[in-house]
Structure 1
Amino acid sequence: MNWYIAVLKKYLVFGGRARRKEYWMFVLINSVIGVILSFVDQATGTVNLESGLGVLGSIYALAVLLPSIAVAVRRLHDTGRSGWWLFILFLPIIGVLVLLFFFLSDSDSAANAYGDNPKGLAV
């Protein structure tokens, strides 16, 4: 849970680097919260049947949109890539696969243009 809160504390911090663990723990906890809110929306009847979106889930998604983008940019920085690589998502299938590869890649072992290695293992 500390990784999730750490990302939320850096709400609009697009500079610097984020380790794989920080990024993927945020994604995991974010997904679990999204599923729980989906069940709550279903149980309370606050789901729009046409769109399939619930009120609580939509509010939560909007609240974590900017931190999600920020941690993704910092994760790209950790692999030595610019945050502009996020725009590759506009390529339907290839974009998702390329970003998944980048997000799963190991950190640059030394300092790069975006800062020191967050692992502290500069080799």
Structure 2
Amino acid sequence: MTPATTPGSTPSLDLPLYGASWYEAMRRFFLKYATFRGRASRSEFWWWALTGFVASNVLDILSGLSTGGRDPLDIAGSFAVVDVWSGISAVAQLAVFIPSLAVSWRRLHDVDRSGTWIFINFIPLLGQIVYLVMTASRSRPGGVRFD
């Protein structure tokens, strides 16, 4: 066992926490807000991915309900419907943009890839598939070089 997973010990933020609970993954996500060095375990990354996906969809549904399904922009391009939920969603997405990049960067480190591999997402379809495979892969011992 690594020091990060020793039972009964407080996990170090410097090491990935394998088998992290949802609470611990979210705690580490926000505590390591803009930390791009080090590594993130699969559980740390995927708990955030699931939480971000669910939260984003809930806000989108609330936005749709508050506007009655209408486009908040009319034909002339001026705001016809004030949509508070879209504003809340935009603020929330801005608030988690940097930590989302950081946890992705650290996850790539854990599979022994440079964080710059995140830019593969700019290649339509193929890039997202490669990124998904990399983030779902098992941790590799070579990733220790990023600690």
TM-score range, shorter chain: 0.7 to 0.9
Query: Equivalent residue for 2:57?
Result: 35
Gaps of 5+ in 1: 116-123
TM-score w.r.t. the length of structure 1 is 0.81
Q: Which runs of 5+ in 2 are unaligned?
A: 1-21, 74-84
With CA pairs under 8 Å and 6+ residues apart, which has the higher RCO, 1 or 2? 1
Contact preservation (8 Å) 2:111, 2:143: no
- Identity over aligned residues, as a percent? 33
The alpha-carbon deviation at position 39 of structure 1 amounts to 2.5
1:89 equivalent in structure 2: 121
What SS does structure 1 have at the residue aligned with 2:144? Answer: coil
Q: Structure 1's 82 and 48: CA in aligned 2 closer, same or farther, altered over 3 A?
A: farther
SS of the equivalent of 1:113 reads helix
Q: C-alpha offsets along residues 65-117 of structure 1, whole Å, 9 cap, x if unaligned?
A: 100000000000000000110111111111101100100100014662112xx
Q: 1:112–1:90: structure 2 CA closer, same or farther, 3 Å change rule? A: same
Equivalent in the alignment of 1:7 = 29
* RMSD (Å) for aligned C-alpha atoms: 2.3
> Which of the pair has more CA radius of gyration?
2
Aligned residues: 114
The match for 2:18 is none
